[in-house]
């Protein structure tokens, strides 16, 4: 009875420790504003004000971060109902709550898994807590936790962990069917959060084979109906994706060749792995260049990624339990870091749950290494205790204390790094200055920094950043157009006219540029030139709203010239 009470107290202490560590690491994140994709997903999302029904609250406009992800849209709609757009701390608090719940679910999965490994069973709770603690406070998670719109990554991860947790609980339960139903429900919810959940049924199957049944045939024979239920949740994802809710950012329809994207991922995945061990520099927006040939793939990163893939595949047959970590890492990354092209090859939030596999591998690997050291290089006192009939307790307890001290040091350093990283998110200016400093060749970062400077009233700085963005990417028409507008507003109209004329020599097919130039000529009273510009718009983009507006302006000019 007393031992049960001590065990319950220990569990509560760990729960409180993990939650407190998460709150401490993210204590300065609540004041961060809406940034980047937060703007079109939250600030410009008129659907958030539609509270007529639950279905309306779960529906997002197309090509937003929450499009086709109804549960994520629902949580943001609830935050909007509570805090509107003026209390951004509400959104941050929800993200942090989901993150802490993820950490607790991870701990629950790990402790019950390690109890199935004889060499780890007696210290399962402690080792699981060490891994979960490091994962919770690791600064790489800020890309998913502090950046509000990446809630989809956190929420999908929580549901995936709950799927696995429910399956693990079903193994020894007298009523496994209830846990199986819970697992299928959680898996379906994960599919409604983000596409990374597609790997969940396969990962649960691999876990079952490695830690429970011991063989593929036995796994399928004993729980085939359960896996049919898990596989059925793919229909949820298929139904949500069938309308192409984010067709402008993912899929084979975007202008990125699948082989080029796959080649790029060799360096990207190696970079992700390095960030887990040394989380610097952390970058909001990489604009990672796509490798157009194999010669552009760095040899070192390619070897690291290839080794991880090869070890995972070999482990499926040789080391099933270790291979689960590799499958977890690669399987969750697969939707974003394989052959399916995305407009952005690298984002740190994609490592949110995959990073747990690396952290667990390190924690368990060090535990086994400590066992080996104690076995081959025993301490004199340890040798005496063994001779006295106390074979491992003294050395194991000492190793566990050393492990906790090391974990505390590492977790404190990582929590401080997370705290510092959260200061980068304190304003749009600070996060984009940080991004430009770390990725000076990223035109989109310069463009977003210019918008932040413009909002702060620094028009000269905004114009300079736009010039850099245009120099880096001559096809970046959003930056080209914004620079022309700022020149017209804060320099002189003639400076803007000269700028547009130069750009249209380089891009004569740019109908938006001809329209803007026509408006500038009209403003300056150069009506013949304006008419030529508007006629060019109608020629290049007939039937578009811009062409219709150009036609109306041409009619006004003709009426003025021939009253």
- Rounded to 10 degrees, the C-alpha dihedral 185/186/191/195 comes to -160
Nearest CA-CA partner of 141 in 425, 404, 408, 403: 425
- In this predicted structure, the answer to whether residue 557 has a pLDDT above a threshold of 80 is yes
Cα 269 from Cα 203, distance rounded (Å): 19
pLDDT of residue 10: 86
Q: What is the mean pLDDT of the chain?
A: 91
pLDDT tens, residue by residue, 418-453: 999 999 999 999 999 999 999 999 999 999 999 999
Q: Find residue 250's DSSP bridge partners.
A: 342
- How far is Cα of residue 238 from the mean position of the Cα atoms in its chain? 21
pLDDT of residue 475: 84
pLDDT of residue 406: 95
Nearest CA-CA partner of 461 in 453, 469, 472: 453
Coil, strand, or helix at residue 128? helix
Cα 445 from Cα 435, distance rounded (Å): 6
Cα 126 from Cα 374, distance rounded (Å): 19
Coil, strand, or helix at residue 342? strand
Instruction: For residue 116, give the DSSP letter.
Output: T
How many C-beta atoms lie closer than 10 Å to residue 263's C-beta? Answer: 21
pLDDT of residue 239: 93
Q: Are 66 and 108 in contact (CB under 8 A)?
A: no
pLDDT tier, 249 (very low <50, low <70, confident <90, very high otherwise)? low
Mean predicted confidence (pLDDT) in 407-426: 97
pLDDT tier, 553 (very low <50, low <70, confident <90, very high otherwise)? confident
Task: Read off the pTM.
Answer: 0.91
pLDDT tier, 386 (very low <50, low <70, confident <90, very high otherwise)? very low
- Rounded to 10 degrees, the C-alpha dihedral 153/330/135/361 comes to 170
- In this predicted structure, the answer to whether residue 501 has a pLDDT above a threshold of 60 is yes
pLDDT of residue 474: 83
Mean predicted confidence (pLDDT) in 215-237: 94
The Cβ-side half-sphere exposure at 166, using a 13 Å CA radius, reads 21
Report the percent of the chain where pLDDT is more than 70.
94
pLDDT tens, residue by residue, 307-345: 999 999 999 999 999 999 999 999 999 999 998 888 899
Mean predicted confidence (pLDDT) in 253-259: 82
Mean predicted confidence (pLDDT) in 232-242: 94
- In this predicted structure, the answer to whether residue 145 has a pLDDT above a threshold of 90 is yes
pLDDT tier, 387 (very low <50, low <70, confident <90, very high otherwise)? very low
| Highest mean pLDDT pick, 85-99, 378-392, 536-550 | 85-99
- In this predicted structure, the answer to whether residue 381 has a pLDDT above a threshold of 90 is no
Nearest CA-CA partner of 348 in 274, 430, 243, 407: 274
- In this predicted structure, the answer to whether residue 477 has a pLDDT above a threshold of 90 is no
Q: What is the CA radius of gyration of the chain?
A: 28
Cα 522 from Cα 328, distance rounded (Å): 60
Domain 428-561 has CATH 1.25.40.10: yes
Q: Where are the domains of the chain?
A: 2-362, 428-561
120 Cβ neighbours under 8 A, 6+ residues apart: 114, 127, 364, 367
Cα 143 from Cα 388, distance rounded (Å): 53
pLDDT of residue 147: 97
Look up tokens 């239920």; give the residue: 229
pLDDT tens, residue by residue, 292-310: 999 999 999 999 999 999 9
- In this predicted structure, the answer to whether residue 397 has a pLDDT above a threshold of 50 is yes
Weakest mean pLDDT among 280-284, 446-450, 473-477: 473-477
DSSP string for residues in 524-541 = HT-HHHHHHHHHHHHHHS
pLDDT of residue 1: 55
Instruction: For residue 198, give the DSSP letter.
Output: G
Mean predicted confidence (pLDDT) in 520-539: 88
pLDDT of residue 136: 98
Weakest mean pLDDT among 167-171, 250-254, 440-444, 480-484: 250-254
Q: Which residues of 46-65 are buried (b: 16+ CB within 10 A; e: fewer)?
A: ebbeeeeeeeebbbbeeebb
28 Cβ neighbours under 8 A, 6+ residues apart: 419, 422, 423, 426
Weakest mean pLDDT among 31-35, 118-122, 482-486: 482-486
Tokens read off for 8: 């319950």
pLDDT of residue 225: 95
């Amino acid at each position: 009875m007393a031992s049960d009470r001590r065990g319950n107290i220990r569990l509560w202490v760990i729960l409180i420790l993990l939650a407190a560590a998460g709150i401490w690491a993210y204590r300065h994140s609540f004041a961060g504003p809406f940034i980047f994709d937060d703007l079109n997903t939250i600030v410009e999302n008129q659907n958030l004000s539609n509270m007529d029904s639950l279905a309306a609250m779960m529906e997002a406009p197309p090509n937003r971060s929450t499009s086709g992800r109804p549960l994520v849209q629902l949580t943001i709609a609830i935050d909007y109902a509570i805090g509107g757009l003026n209390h951004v701390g509400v959104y941050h608090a929800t993200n942090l709550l989901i993150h802490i719940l993820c950490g607790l679910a991870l701990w629950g999965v790990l402790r019950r898994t390690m109890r199935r490994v004889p060499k780890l069973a007696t210290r399962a709770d402690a080792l699981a807590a060490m891994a979960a603690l490091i994962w919770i406070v690791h600064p790489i998670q800020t890309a998913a936790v502090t950046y509000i719109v990446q809630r989809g990554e956190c929420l999908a991860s929580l549901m995936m962990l709950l799927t696995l947790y429910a399956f693990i609980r079903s193994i020894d339960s007298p009523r496994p069917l209830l846990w199986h139903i819970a697992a299928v429900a959680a898996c379906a919810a994960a599919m409604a959060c983000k596409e990374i959940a597609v790997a969940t049924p396969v990962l649960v199957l691999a876990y079952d084979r490695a830690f429970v049944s011991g063989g593929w045939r036995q796994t399928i024979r004993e729980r085939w109906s359960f896996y049919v239920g898990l596989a059925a949740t793919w229909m949820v994802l298929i139904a949500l994706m069938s309308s192409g809710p984010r067709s402008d950012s993912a899929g084979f329809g975007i202008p990125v060749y699948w082989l080029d994207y796959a080649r790029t991922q060799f360096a990207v995945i190696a970079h992700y792995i390095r960030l887990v061990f040394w989380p610097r520099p952390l970058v909001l927006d990489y604009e990672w260049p796509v490798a157009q040939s194999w010669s552009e793939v760095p040899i070192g990163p390619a070897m690291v990624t290839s080794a991880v893939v090869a070890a995972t595949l070999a482990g499926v047959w040789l080391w099933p339990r270790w291979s689960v970590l590799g499958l977890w890492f690669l399987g969750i990354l697969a939707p974003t870091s394989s052959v399916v092209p995305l407009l952005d090859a690298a984002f740190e939030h994609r490592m949110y749950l995959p990073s747990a596999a690396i952290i667990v591998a390190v924690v368990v690997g060090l535990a086994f290494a400590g066992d080996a050291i104690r076995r081959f290089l025993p301490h004199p006192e340890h040798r005496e205790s063994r001779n006295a009939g106390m074979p491992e307790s003294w050395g194991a307890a000492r190793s566990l204390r050393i492990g906790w001290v090391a974990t505390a040091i590492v977790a404190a350093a990582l929590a401080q790094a997370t705290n510092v990283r959260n200061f980068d998110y304190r304003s749009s200016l600070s996060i984009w200055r940080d991004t430009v400093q770390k990725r000076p060749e990223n035109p989109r970062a310069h463009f977003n920094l210019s918008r932040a400077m413009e909002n702060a009233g620094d028009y000269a700085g905004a114009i300079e950043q736009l010039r850099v963005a245009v120099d880096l990417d001559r096809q970046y028409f959003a930056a080209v157009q914004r620079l022309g507008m700022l020149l017209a507003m804060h320099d002189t109209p003639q400076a803007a006219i000269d700028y547009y004329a130069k750009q249209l020599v380089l891009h004569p097919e740019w109908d938006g540029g001809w329209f803007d130039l026509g408006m500038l000529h009209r403003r300056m009273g150069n009506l013949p030139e304006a008419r030529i510009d508007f006629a060019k718009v109608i020629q290049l983009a007939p039937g578009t709203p811009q062409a219709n507006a150009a036609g109306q302006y041409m009619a006004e000019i003709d009426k003025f010239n021939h009253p």
